[in-house]
């Protein structure tokens, strides 16, 4: 019985700017009102975690526990938590769903006012931390923190899932898979017969590919500077692979020629401002839509001739594939179990949690799509 008590366990801590992960013994305090303590079973490594390590995106002061793509089991719940109980299998949500704010009440967005993306305080709602190590408080990451054996999240940041779901696979529904898949099926709402291009064939881009395929796109073009990504992309449904470095012409010109005037849908899944502009320019000038999924470095700016928007192109962006987490994550897990889509191919590596630094090396060297850490 651990309920109500401090739990001593291990976590991967980043102590300072650009430092490696350090496995430490930590203390995890019991959940307070409207909080849930979760035993993490599996956690994927996403490029957004690496952005946080590098300071590419804004993050709070160190020390911090990163990680946001996981599956686990509820260990205990705080006062006022009525919809979850110990033993429930869950996925933590980095985009919460409080159910009460203006955004949550609108069908037009999945963002909730409690979302910590871009303004990560690293603290719980009462401005305190549940993690400590060597007498120091440790910050959390975008309402989740999953590179730890136990975490505490707000009850707005957790979705209950089917008890039979394999955590080492469905953890990807906590970020990468849903982000890409939803960008295709929910944000773009691709029609059958569409032509699509995906810039960046990592975990996010390949999940867009899976969504394009499910939605019935007939031409799916993949763009990446790492040709080692092309074999898996083709397996998942990409019809044409292009390396921009093999062409002397700008990539958008290549794509406009290849598609007879531009694509119906372009997805930027890298996080580079230049490829965001290329993606926009590769869409058909009147009926094309560009969706920005990649996270660009903080304070970057894009400029383009506004005339390119005048004939009706659409430019959008989305977090977490436009899915409201509590409403959609349980269904996505059920759809996975019902084999409506297959995400197993995205998991190229599994490692014991202690080897987290090795997992990040696999991502940085371009060798992995997703590495899943097992606890
Ligand atoms: P990843 O590193 O696995 O994939 C990126 C891919 O882009 C790799 O295959 C690279 O080889 C390729 N690439 C790099 N530079 C170029 C270039 N100049 N031209 C073409 N290809 C290139 O990352 P990921 O798939 O985990 O994440 C991709 C981005 O999406 C990243 O910026 C991440 O922070 C962002 C993201 N957004 C959300 C969201 O909710 N919007 C969620 C999760 C991740
Ligand atoms: Zn992510
Ligand atoms: Zn809300």
**Sign, Cα dihedral of 331, 337, 342, 348:** positive
**pTM tops 0.95, yes or no:** yes
> Are the C-beta atoms of 193 and 218 separated by less than 8 Å?
yes
pLDDT at 264 over 70: yes
Nearest bound ligand to the CA of residue 178: 1
Sequence-ordered list of residues with C-beta below 8 angstroms from that of 137, at least 6 positions apart, any chain: 128, 129, 131
How far, in Å, CA of 141 to CA of 220, rounded? 34
Q: Does residue 375 have a pLDDT over 70?
A: yes
Write the CB contacts of 183 (distance below 8 Å, at least 6 apart in sequence): 208, 211, 267, 291, 293, 318, 321, 322
Instruction: State yes or no: ipTM above 0.90.
Output: yes
Q: Which of 14, 31, 33, 36 is nearest to 23 (CA)?
A: 14
pLDDT at residue number 59: 65
User: Could you tell me how many residues make up the chain?
Assistant: 375
Q: How many CA atoms lie within 13 A of 102 on its CB side?
A: 1
Ligand 1 atom nearest 368 alpha carbon: 3
- 46 in catalytic set: yes
What tokens appear for 291 in the block? 């969706």
Helix axes 47-54, 356-364, angle to 10 degrees: 100
With the most atoms of ligand 1 within 8 angstroms of its CB, the residue from 43, 45, 47 to mutate is: 47
Hey, what's the torsion of the CAs at 370, 24, 136, 45, to 10 degrees? 0
159 pLDDT band, cuts 50/70/90, is: very high
Q: What are the start-end ranges of the E strands in 14-65?
A: 22-28, 35-44
Q: 105 falls in which pLDDT band (50, 70, 90)? A: very high
Q: Note if 51 is an active site residue.
A: yes
Query: Mean pLDDT across the stretch 125-140?
Result: 96
- Is 80 exceeded by the pLDDT of residue 265? yes
Give residue 39's pLDDT: 98
Q: Whose CA is nearest to atom 11 of ligand 1?
A: 226
Question: Across the chain, what does the average pLDDT equal?
Answer: 96
* Residues contacting ligand 1 via CB (< 6 Å): 46-48, 51, 175-176, 179, 199-205, 223-226, 229, 244, 269-272, 275, 293-295, 319-320, 366
Q: Which of 190, 119, 145, 160 is nearest to 28 (CA)?
A: 145
Q: How far is CA 58 from CA 54, 86, 160, 291, in A?
A: 10, 34, 29, 22
Torsion of CA 75, 350, 204, 148, to 10 degrees: 30
State which of 269, 278, 296, 366 you would mutate to test the pocket of ligand 1, scoring each by most atoms of that ligand within 8 A of its C-beta: 269
Structure confidence by residue, pLDDT tens digits, 319-351:
999 999 999 999 999 999 999 999 999 999 999
């Amino acid at each position: 019985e651990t309920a109500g008590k401090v739990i001593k366990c291990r976590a991967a801590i980043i102590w300072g700017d650009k430092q490696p992960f350090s496995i430490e013994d930590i203390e995890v305090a019991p959940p307070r009102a409207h909080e849930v303590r979760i035993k993490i079973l599996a956690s994927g490594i996403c490029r957004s975690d690496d952005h946080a390590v590098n300071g590419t995106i804004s993050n709070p002061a160190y020390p911090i526990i990163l990680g946001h793509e996981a599956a686990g089991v509820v260990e205990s719940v705080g006062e006022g938590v009525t919809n979850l109980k110990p033993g429930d299998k869950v996925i933590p949500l980095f985009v919460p769903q409080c159910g009460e704010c203006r955004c949550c009440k609108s069908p037009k967005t999945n963002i909730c006012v409690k979302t910590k993306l871009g303004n990560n305080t690293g603290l719980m709602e009462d401005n305190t931390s549940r993690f400590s190590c060597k007498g120091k408080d440790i910050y959390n990451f975008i309402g989740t923190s999953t590179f730890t054996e136990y975490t505490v999240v707000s009850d707005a940041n957790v979705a209950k899932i089917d008890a039979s779901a394999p955590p080492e696979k469905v953890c990807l529904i906590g970020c990468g898979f849903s982000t890409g898949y939803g960008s295709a099926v929910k944000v773009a709402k691709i029609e059958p017969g569409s032509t699509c291009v995906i810039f960046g064939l990592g975990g996010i881009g390949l999940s867009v590919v899976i969504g394009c395929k499910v939605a019935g796109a007939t031409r799916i073009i993949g763009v990446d500077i790492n040709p080692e990504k092309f074999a898996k992309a083709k397996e998942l449904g990409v019809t044409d692979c292009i390396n921009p470095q093999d062409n002397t012409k700008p990539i958008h010109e290549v794509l406009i020629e290849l598609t007879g005037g531009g694509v119906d849908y372009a997805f930027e899944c890298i996080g580079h401002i230049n490829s965001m502009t290329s993606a926009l320019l590769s869409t058909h000038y009147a009926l094309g839509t560009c969706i920005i999924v990649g996270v660009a470095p903080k304070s970057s700016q894009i400029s383009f001739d506004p005339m390119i928007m005048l004939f009706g192109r659409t430019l959008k962006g989305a977090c977490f594939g436009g899915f409201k987490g509590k409403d959609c994550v349980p269904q996505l897990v059920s759809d996975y179990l019902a084999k409506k889509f297959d995400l197993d191919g995205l998991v190229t590596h599994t490692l014991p949690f202690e080897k987290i630094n090795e997992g990040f090396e696999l991502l940085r060297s371009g060798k992995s799509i997703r590495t899943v850490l097992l606890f």
